Structures are given as C-alpha cells and as structure tokens.
Structure 1
Amino acid sequence: MVVDDHPMWRDGVARDLADAGMSVVATADGVDTAMRRAAATRPQVVLMDMRLTDGDGATATREVLAASPESRVLVLSASDERDDVLEAVKAGATGYLVKSASAAELLAAVQATAAGQAVFTPGLAGLVLGEYRRMASTPNESGPALTDRETEVLRLVAKGLTAKQIAARLSLSHRTVENHVQATLRKLQLANRVELTRYALEQGLE
C-alpha cells in the first residue's frame, strides 16, 4: 500500500511497484484512509509519507499497525530531519528512505522490508542508533540476560544484516546464527526480526 498526499507521486510509485511485479493492494492520502484500507487489505508493506492530508506519518503508522499488526511500514519521505526519523521509528516504522532514492533502491528497500529487514537511507541508521544509545544510557537491570554472542548477533540484525551476512561476518554457520536469533526472540518474548530490531534500537545497541 502506498500512502502519500501528492497524487502524482503516489500514483507514480504505485506504478513503479506494479511494473516490478509487486501487487499494490491500495493507496491512500491521509491517516484515516490509510487506517481503513490497511484494515481491509492487510498489506505486507506500507510505504508511508510523513506529510499527509489529515495528519502526519507517525500517527498514520501507529493507526495502520493497530489496524493491520502484521504489516510493515517503510517511510518514504522528502524529509531527513532527525525528529521525523525518530518519530517514525518510535511509531513502529521498520525503516526510513528519503525520496531522493532511486527506483532501484526503492524496490530493493520494499523487498528487504517484506523480508523483515530494517532499511534506512545511509546515515539515518546511525542517527537512530545514536539517539537510542543516549536514551538508554542507564542499563535496564530487569531485562533478560543475553549472552555476548546473542548480543553481538542482535546488533548486526539491527543494522539490517541477513543471517547469511551475519554468519560470514562472525565466521559462524547459518544455522548457528538462526539459533542465536531464535534464542534471543524467546528470551525477549518477541515475535520476529522486526520487533528484534526495534528492541535493539530502544536499548541503544549498535
């Protein structure tokens, strides 16, 4: 689903996605419309602008995810302002891409988001991680204890690396990495890699 208040941009993005073989189940121009159409269509990925006709992208992200919890939101915005990026992530967005991205970069980002990866325009991931690191300067003593290896894998998951890439980076087998990911999900009582990434950001892991 594509959510943007500019019809020409919205229709153009939807057309590019369709031309690449993706199914665009809906489009919307505002918070209310996005929420209703997400509830009706249950899109796998929602491309979300930060400026909408009746509100902002962060509010729309919260409403869309409440209506369709299994959806993943990838913000596609002209703004790369720190506050916009952080608000989007806090609202539940999986990633943030600026509109200067090429069509190929957009398609790759949508595919990565659908696969559960966190996607950010270069430079923005560091901004988000840095902000959450400052917010998390006091460790959460009541949190579950992760092993050093699980924490290392968690940091790499938060950076958007796949299990195969993590395995190569740490000289581990693919199965071992997946076992660490699953063990971490169980300990943190999280459902998937998207929630794992969000947890890592909230804890200030890098």
Structure 2
Amino acid sequence: MAIRVLVADDHPMWREAVEKDLIEAGFEVVGTASDGRAALERTRATRPDVLVLDLHLPLLSGAEVVRGLKDAQVETRVLILSASGAAQDVVEVMKEGAVGYLVKSTGREEFLQAVAATSRGEAVFTPEVAGLVLGEYGRLARHDSREPAPELTAREKDVLRFVATGMSYRDIAETLGISHRTVQNHVQNTLGKLQLNNRVQLARYAVAQGLAQDDSVPGAAAGPSSGPAPTRAPR
C-alpha cells in the first residue's frame, strides 16, 4: 500500500511542488496545510503515516504541532523539512518527538527516500544537523539515570553502533556484509530487548551507553547526503 503523507508548509509554491514530487513517486498525499493549526487538525483527522512539516508556520510552530500530536497520541511520524539548520530549532523539535530533520537544500531523491525511511520509523537527518542531534542526545544522557543495559549479542552491538551514526539499513548491511533484512531483524530484536519504540530512541540509547564513540564507527553524518538544491526555490 502507498505511504500516506500530509504536507504542511505556508509557502504555496513550495507546498505544491513537494506534493507533486510525492505523488509522482507513488506516495498518497492525503492533504496539505498552510499553517500549524491546520496541520495539527488535519493530521489528527487523517492519521497519515508521515507528516512532512515546515518548522516556522503561522498560528502554531512546527514544534508545537509535534507536541500536539504527541499529546493527542497520534502515531503519525513527523519529518521536518525546513530552511533552518539552527541548533535551537533542530534540538527543540527533536525533543518534542520528530523522527527526522531535513533542510530544504536536500535533493529530490534524498527527500523521497527520507519520507519512506520516516514511515518505517528510521531517524533521518541531513549531515549539517546530525551532529547537533547526537550531541544533544549525549548531553541528555549524562543527566539520565539508567538501569543496567540488557545483554545484546556482538552483532546487535555492531548494528547499534552504526544506527547511532544515523546510517541507513542499506549502508549498514553493505558495511557489515550482511543482508538488509538481517539488519532490520537485528534492529527489531534490539528495540524489543531495550523496550524502545524507534530508531531515534535507539540512537539516543547508543550515545548514552558510549557505543556511538566506538573507534570502529566512522564519523559520517546521519541521514541522506546533501545533494544539489531542488529546482524549487527554498525559503
């Protein structure tokens, strides 16, 4: 079945272009919104798989929309698509529960891949914001009280280290020489053992346990690589 998406952006030309790209790629766009209040109301009404959400919207900000969805227990996953890569903006909305964060200079194909990944609960970030997110997780982890870590297999720990850098399942599979499905199975098993819900929480756990600092893990940034700017003019 097609992934169901709602698009919220206050710039009509950008919003319509994003909607067109999604439809052409086979996604089902269930609606659009031009302000934060409409984004919250329409997402609550339609329950899409993914909400593609601008950060700076009239009436309600992107962070307020994400908080409202969380309070209403709406399970739609939120992918931020914003012109801002400012640390305060990124950290605020990720704390509220957004799954991923892209800047508007991201290329079309990278964006479409990120929407699909978000629908699966995978954390996706453009490189310029990935370090901010992992850094914040590390800061929060130092103040968290944690119970002893459940026992993970050596391979689960290997996969977890790469998840902490934001690598895709496909890249992890290629790096470790295993199948994409095997990586998925390891992630699901690890989520179950740790009683976590998604890759965002898993990445935070890995940072908290010091796994993300392992020397065997490359320092590559997370999420889709920053490609050429889309033909649509960013805000």
The reply to whether TM is greater than 0.5 is yes
Please give the range of the TM-score, normalised by the shorter of the 2 chains: 0.7 to 0.9
Indicate conservation of the 8 Å contact 1:38/1:68, yes or no. no
- For residue 167 of structure 2, give the secondary structure of its aligned residue in structure 1: coil
- Displacement of 1:14 in angstroms is 1.1
* Other-structure match for 2:164: 158
Amino acid at match of 2:99: T
CA 1:194–1:131: 2 relative to 1, 3 Å: closer
- Displacement of 1:146 in angstroms is 4.1
Indicate conservation of the 8 Å contact 2:114/2:124, yes or no. yes
CA 1:50–1:162: 2 relative to 1, 3 Å: closer
- For residue 142 of structure 1, give the secondary structure of its aligned residue in structure 2: coil
User: Structure 2: which 5+ runs fail to align?
Assistant: 1-5, 213-235
Is the counterpart of residue 189 in structure 1 residue 195 in structure 2?
yes
Give, in whole Å, the separation in 1 of the partners of 2:189 and 2:24. 39
Identical counterparts, % of pairs: 52
Q: Which moved more, 1:188-197 or 1:71-80?
A: 188-197
- Displacement of 1:98 in angstroms is 0.6
CA 1:164–1:12: 2 relative to 1, 3 Å: closer
* Other-structure match for 1:78: 83
* Other-structure match for 2:50: 45
Give, in whole Å, the separation in 1 of the partners of 2:13 and 2:162. 37
Q: Deviations over 1:97-145 (max 9, x none)?
A: 1111222222222122223321111131122112221332357342533
- Displacement of 1:174 in angstroms is 5.8
Amino acid at match of 1:131: E
Is the counterpart of residue 89 in structure 1 residue 94 in structure 2?
yes
Give, in whole Å, the separation in 1 of the partners of 2:13 and 2:58. 14
User: Structure 1: which 5+ runs fail to align?
Assistant: none
Amino acid at match of 2:77: R
Indicate conservation of the 8 Å contact 1:94/1:118, yes or no. yes
- Displacement of 1:180 in angstroms is 3.5
CA 1:37–1:138: 2 relative to 1, 3 Å: closer
CA 1:59–1:151: 2 relative to 1, 3 Å: farther
Give, in whole Å, the separation in 2 of the partners of 1:115 and 1:196. 14
TM superposition score normalised by structure 2: 0.74
Indicate conservation of the 8 Å contact 1:136/1:204, yes or no. no
Indicate conservation of the 8 Å contact 2:85/2:128, yes or no. no
CA 1:137–1:20: 2 relative to 1, 3 Å: same
Higher relative contact order (CA 8 A, sep 6+): 2
Q: Deviations over 1:30-62 (max 9, x none)?
A: 232112111211111111111111121111112
Indicate conservation of the 8 Å contact 1:117/1:161, yes or no. no
- Displacement of 1:70 in angstroms is 2.6
**How big is the alpha-carbon RMSD for the aligned residues of Structure 1 and Structure 2?**
2.7
The count of corresponding residues between Structure 1 and Structure 2 is 206
Alignment counterpart, residue 7 of structure 2, candidates 2, 23, 27: 2
- For residue 25 of structure 1, give the secondary structure of its aligned residue in structure 2: strand
TM superposition score normalised by structure 1: 0.83
Q: Which moved more, 1:94-103 or 1:185-194?
A: 185-194
* Other-structure match for 2:215: none
CA 1:38–1:205: 2 relative to 1, 3 Å: farther
CA 1:146–1:5: 2 relative to 1, 3 Å: farther
Give, in whole Å, the separation in 1 of the partners of 2:73 and 2:63. 15
- For residue 126 of structure 1, give the secondary structure of its aligned residue in structure 2: helix
